[in-house]
């Protein structure tokens, strides 16, 4: 579970509640969770044959699951699964990745993966992408394939039980199988295709060259030192991407793409019998011959270093100081699938991870005057087929990496000296039992793509996959027998002679470590402390709290006799009522997800209320008021928005599927969370506590979070991407003070008490809120009837005190909401900004300001749907032109937004927004590609697209809608949109508001043709001189003429030999000449 703090410095619009982890409480439980607890114990000897016998792949029912091997060596896995309905998830897994590459092939495995979608023998010129779009399947960056160290995997998610694209007799599923067979045996890899695809791969490579990736790469090389994995990152190297020949790629393909190294996985709601589907696999993938014996099983050994390794890294673009303490252990798969002992080893590791992360979370909120780190976490990963790596990571203050490293090492030593407390062990057990219980309860709604991924893991790594009931019983058996001594044994594996790697990372302006001896001294210090018994127990580890401690019934004042006027909305199958304190609550009973209950509360009014009364340029006092409001949520979250310190709340919620997040945005306040039916009451308690709590700022408790934010501001002032984003916002919103970047001086002037006071005011009037609840309500104890459910809500939500009856009602969207002041560009703005970059990349955003009519409501809603489809079509066209035809980008995004405009603008007759088009590319190409974007838009206004493109657009939207209908998240959003709509304001009917939007979309879809889409583009993107847009491009700062010349000359010198006196003289002369040329050039420029 995520335990790191989410700090949003810009614009600091709130921090969500951090998911806790801690001690086990009692649970009410639903009938389904009780069924999990009543499962028969697993008889290991009788049912599995023993602890050391490989767990057979399952389920055992051959009408549900089949696996086998074709005569050519290819393995297959077929699994029937009904969720989502009429969909199939497929994969082709190739047991080959970047570690199989030779030195001259570094990156070829990844290039080959790209080329598969560009062209095969039977699908030329991105015909595969056309097919995916025609059947409504997505294609995009990272969506359909990936290359790793040990494998390459192609994935498809397609409709089944339906026809293929228009004009074809082959069903969509059959064609999808054919596509996978093309990937397996018939990737073309011609010189023409390779030359076109190089640009796309290079752009993906450029996007990966971030500060974080450089840190990861250095860490990877250290933990894999001495193995082939060390120098085989899947993305490859620039020289090979640019220079690999088609013959090299073809040779690599022919050598490793052999059927005996492949697995085909098919999971879904297909109508064919298992025999019929098995025959299709045989017919489609039966060709090809196994590879030669010499290349079947290459061995890439990893080893555990006996001596620790230390890295001190300074990165020009690092945004924080951090330390990473890792331990590497070689791993080798013993059997075809895991046995129970290997399964147990994994579970013990998961328990250790859960317990240690909970402990590190407590340390980040310690009462100690100086905290060693801001945040810390532990992860345990199989980083490649032959190695496990555990890593403790801490983010700390500038120059504080030594202190943070010592703290992490002390925590490991503390576990070895004292173990985990009983409470910690039981908390971790409860957390993992909760995961197993959730998987069991939701077993009939396991998504096909999740199951597909499990069988990919079974093929590549021998991971155990069985039926969900057996898996639940295995989890119960193993978790019931794991003790604190088992976790202690894990800690004993993490010592300095067990493959230790310690890496420190600092921004350039920090007091960075220069010598690894300082880290070595810290390691020896902790070793000595442990040997001398100087590491004591930590008092924070004895804390304990349960859900019963959150809120006592005796503290509640509620009226169970209050009479509710229940309204019924048959179209939505929902009901609503108003509680005694004014909260409007709407509920929809749903069986889409077993044991899932979603809550979502919202109220109008947010951060913009803090700028009330500001006209024109704000005074320093007014600006301080806005800044103070923006950090309120952050401070409240760190102190405890629910009136309980975060570590104690962690203890109370451990083992519960329960979380409530709160947020204050520009124009709204929100609560949201996902709960199990059995833990729903705890979520209601948290809501009650949020409104009841008056968070009080105590400066001593905010020292750490303030330091985090100060450093984040400091780092962002240097970050090229942050500078770019701020400049884009500055240009597009008329220099609005609301979006002005933070300065350190402004943050230092923030009044913490005023910030938390603003936060408290956001959640003090319950009657301003509407609470929507969707999910498995019938399984909530006492909620099978509407009357019983409302009594439950009255007890915990209706009992929230009304402090000011006059303010205890929803704000008026037109009259009470303070709009953010901004203006739109009225002329074309084109700007290039430059910045120093470690790894150069160019980023461009083209933004078109627009406005839509808000009166009447029918007109506004129709315009929004046309805008939605126009943006989707534009993104498709730009991907085709910029990536598929030219190979110059990796991805492009087109997104409309009206988030800055307030609802107060509706009565004026128009609402302002914009359409943003963003992409990255090779440095120096941004301006040219910007012109290409403008040309594509111009052509869409004048030249209608083909009917096939329209069909693909509508099919993708249709398939996405079908999938959404089966999710509670869709329905809770639909209900909130209905409440927020103008139709509801006019009619007070959710059904009317819902049907209005639904019918309007259907009407627009029915009208979409090539000609009407061209008209939509003419309406949205004005033609001729009226065309207004902004185009901002970020380019790397080019070196000066002098430094470039000197660098070029110096790089021409022989490697490893110092320059001679003659060479130094020539360099000096050249530098002088360069200075003269530069001065002459500048003089000429001034005259011009």
Q: Which residues are part of the catalytic machinery?
A: 113, 197
Burial of 269 (0-12, 13-18, 19+ CB in 10 A): middle
CA distance 121 to 126: 12
The total of other beta-carbon atoms located within 10 Å of residue 969's CB is 15
Token pair in block for residue 345: 């080893």
- Helix, strand, coil % (nearest 5) of the chain? 50, 15, 35
Extended strands (E) in 507-626: 567-569, 574-578, 584-589, 597-604
Closest residue by Cα to residue 848 from 918, 917, 949, 923:
917
Buried b (16+ CB within 10 A) or exposed e, 122-138: ebeebbbbbbbbbbbbe
Tell me the two tokens of residue 490: 């894990």
| Token pair in block for residue 256 | 């490793």
Q: How far is CA 756 from the centre of its chain?
A: 29
Are the CB atoms for 549 and 769 separated by under 8 Å? no
Cβ pair 807, 886 in contact under 8 A: no
46 phi/psi in degrees, rounded to 5: -75, -40
Per residue, what are the HEC states of 920-947? EECCCCHHHHHHHHHHHHHHHHHCCCCH
Residue count of the chain, please give it: 1088
Contact 76, 91 (CB under 8 A): no
* Residue 1087: Cβ-neighbour burial (10 angstroms; 0-12, 13-18, 19+): exposed
* The token pair that represents 724 in the structure block: 């770019």
Rounded Cα gap, residues 978 and 970, in angstroms: 12
Cβ neighbours of 454 (radius 10 Å): 20
What is the β-pairing status of strands 262-268 and 309-314? Answer: unpaired
Written as six digits, the tokens of 315 are 């990165």
Counting DSSP H helices and E strands in the chain, the numbers are 34, 23
Are 375 and 711 contacting, i.e. CB atoms less than 8 angstroms apart?
A: no
3-class secondary structure, 189: coil
The b/e string for 683-699 (b: 16+ C-beta within 10 A; e otherwise) is bbbbbbbbbbbebebee
Closest CA to 415 of 490, 481, 327: 490
Give the pairing of strands 829-835 and 1030-1036.
parallel
């Amino acid at each position: 579970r995520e335990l790191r703090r989410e700090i949003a410095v810009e614009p600091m619009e709130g921090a969500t509640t951090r998911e806790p982890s801690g001690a086990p409480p009692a649970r009410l439980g639903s009938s389904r969770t009780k069924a999990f607890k009543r499962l028969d114990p697993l008889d290991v000897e009788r049912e599995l044959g023993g602890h050391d016998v490989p767990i057979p792949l399952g389920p055992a029912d051959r009408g549900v699951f089949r696996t086998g091997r074709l005569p050519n060596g290819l393995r297959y896995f077929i699994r029937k699964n009904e969720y989502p309905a009429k969909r199939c998830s497929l994969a082709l897994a190739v047991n080959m990745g970047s570690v199989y590459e030779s030195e001259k092939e570094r990156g070829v495995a990844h290039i080959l993966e790209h080329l598969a979608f560009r062209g095969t023998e039977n699908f030329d010129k991105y015909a595969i992408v056309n097919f995916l779009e025609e059947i409504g399947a997505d294609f995009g960056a990272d969506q359909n394939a990936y290359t790793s160290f040990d494998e390459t995997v192609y994935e498809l998610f397609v409709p089944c039980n339906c026809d293929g694209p228009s004009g074809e007799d082959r069903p969509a599923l059959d064609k999808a199988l054919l596509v996978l067979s093309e990937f397996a045996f018939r990737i073309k890899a011609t010189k023409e295709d390779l030359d076109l695809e190089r640009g796309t791969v290079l752009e993906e490579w450029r996007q990966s060259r971030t500060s974080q990736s450089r840190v990861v790469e250095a860490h990877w090389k250290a933990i894999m030192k001495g193995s082939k994995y060390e120098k085989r990152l899947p993305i490859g190297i620039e020289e090979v991407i640019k220079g690999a020949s088609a013959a090299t790629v073809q040779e690599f393909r022919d050598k490793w793409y052999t059927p005996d190294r492949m697995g085909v996985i098919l999971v879904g709601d297909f109508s064919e019998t298992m025999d019929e589907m098995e025959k299709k696999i045989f017919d489609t993938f039966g060709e090809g011959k196994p590879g030669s014996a010499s290349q079947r099983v290459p061995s890439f050994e990893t080893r555990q270093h006996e001596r620790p390794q230390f890295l001190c890294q300074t990165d020009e673009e690092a945004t924080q100081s951090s330390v990473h303490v890792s331990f590497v252990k070689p791993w080798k798969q013993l059997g075809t699938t895991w046995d129970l002992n290997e399964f147990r080893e994994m579970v013990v590791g998961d328990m250790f991870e859960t317990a240690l992360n909970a402990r590190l979370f407590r340390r980040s909120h310690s009462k100690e005057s100086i905290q060693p780190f801001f945040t810390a976490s532990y992860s345990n990963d199989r980083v490649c087929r032959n190695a496990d790596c555990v890593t403790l990571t801490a983010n700390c203050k500038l120059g504080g990496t030594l202190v943070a490293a010592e703290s992490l090492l002390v925590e490991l030593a503390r576990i070895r000296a004292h173990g985990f407390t009983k409470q910690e062990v039981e908390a971790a057990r409860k957390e993992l039992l909760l995961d197993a219980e959730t998987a069991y309860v939701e077993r009939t709604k396991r998504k096909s793509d999740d199951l597909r991924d499990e069988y990919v893991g079974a093929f590549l790594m021998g991971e155990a996959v069985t039926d969900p009931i057996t898996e639940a019983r295995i989890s119960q058996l193993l978790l019931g027998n794991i003790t604190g001594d088992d976790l202690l044994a894990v800690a004993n594996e993490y010592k300095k002679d067990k493959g230790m790697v310690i890496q420190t990372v600092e921004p350039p302006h920090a007091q960075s470590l220069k010598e690894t001896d300082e880290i070595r001294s810290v390691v020896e210090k902790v070793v000595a402390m442990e040997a001398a018994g100087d590491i004591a127990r930590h008092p924070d580890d004895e804390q304990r709290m349960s859900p019963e401690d959150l809120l006592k019934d005796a503290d509640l004042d509620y009226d169970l006799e209050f009479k509710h006027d229940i309204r019924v909305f048959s179209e939505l199958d929902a009901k609503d009522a108003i509680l005694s304190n004014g909260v409007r609550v709407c509920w929809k009973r749903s069986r889409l997800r077993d044991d899932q209950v979603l809550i979502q509360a919202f109220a109008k009014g947010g951060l913009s209320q803090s700028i009330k009364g500001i006209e024109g340029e704000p005074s320093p006092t007014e600006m301080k008021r806005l800044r103070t409001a923006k950090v309120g949520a952050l401070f409240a979250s760190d102190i405890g928005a629910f009136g309980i310190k975060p570590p104690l709340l962690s203890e109370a919620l451990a083992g519960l599927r329960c979380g409530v997040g709160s947020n204050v945005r520009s124009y709204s306040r929100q609560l949201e969370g996902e709960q199990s039916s059995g833990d729903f009451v705890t979520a209601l308690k948290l809501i009650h506590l949020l409104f009841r709590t008056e968070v009080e700022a105590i400066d001593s408790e905010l020292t750490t979070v303030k330091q985090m934010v100060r450093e984040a501001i400091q780092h962002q002032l240097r970050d090229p991407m942050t500078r770019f984003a701020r400049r884009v916002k500055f240009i597009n919103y008329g220099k609005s003070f609301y979006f002005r970047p933070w300065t350190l001086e402004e943050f230092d002037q923030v009044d913490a008490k005023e910030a938390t006071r603003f936060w408290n005011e956001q959640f003090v009037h319950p009657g301003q809120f509407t609470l929507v609840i969707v999910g498995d309500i019938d399984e909530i104890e006492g909620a099978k009837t509407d009357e019983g459910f409302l009594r439950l809500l009255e007890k915990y939500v209706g009992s929230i005190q009304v402090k000011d009856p006059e303010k205890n009602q929803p704000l008026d969207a037109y009259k009470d909401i303070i709009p953010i002041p901004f203006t739109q560009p009225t002329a074309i703005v084109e700007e290039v900004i430059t910045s120093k970059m470690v790894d150069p990349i160019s980023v461009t955003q083209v933004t078109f300001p627009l406005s839509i009519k808000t009166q009447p409501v029918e007109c506004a809603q129709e315009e929004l749907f046309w805008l939605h489809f126009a943006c989707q079509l534009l993104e498709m066209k730009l991907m085709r032109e910029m990536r598929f035809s030219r190979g110059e980008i990796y991805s492009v995004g087109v997104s409309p937004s009206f988030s800055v405009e307030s609802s107060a603008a509706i009565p004026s007759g128009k609402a302002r927004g914009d359409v943003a088009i963003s992409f990255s590319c090779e440095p120096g190409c941004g301006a040219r590609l910007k012109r290409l974007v403008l040309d594509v838009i111009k052509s869409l206004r004048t030249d209608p697209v083909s009917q096939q493109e329209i069909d693909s657009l509508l099919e993708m939207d249709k398939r996405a809608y079908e999938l959404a209908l089966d999710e509670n998240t869709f329905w809770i959003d639909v209900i909130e949109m209905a409440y927020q709509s103008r139709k509801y304001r006019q009619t007070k009917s959710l059904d009317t508001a819902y049907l209005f939007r639904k019918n309007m979309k259907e009407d627009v879809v029915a009208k979409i043709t090539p000609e009407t889409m061209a008209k939509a583009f003419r309406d949205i993107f004005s033609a001729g001189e009226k065309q207004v847009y902004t185009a901002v491009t970020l380019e790397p700062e080019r070196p000066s003429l002098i430094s470039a010349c000197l660098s070029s000359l110096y790089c021409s010198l022989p490697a490893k030999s110092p320059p001679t006196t003659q060479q130094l003289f020539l360099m000096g002369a050249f530098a002088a000449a360069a200075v003269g040329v530069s001065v002459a050039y500048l003089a000429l420029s001034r005259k011009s």
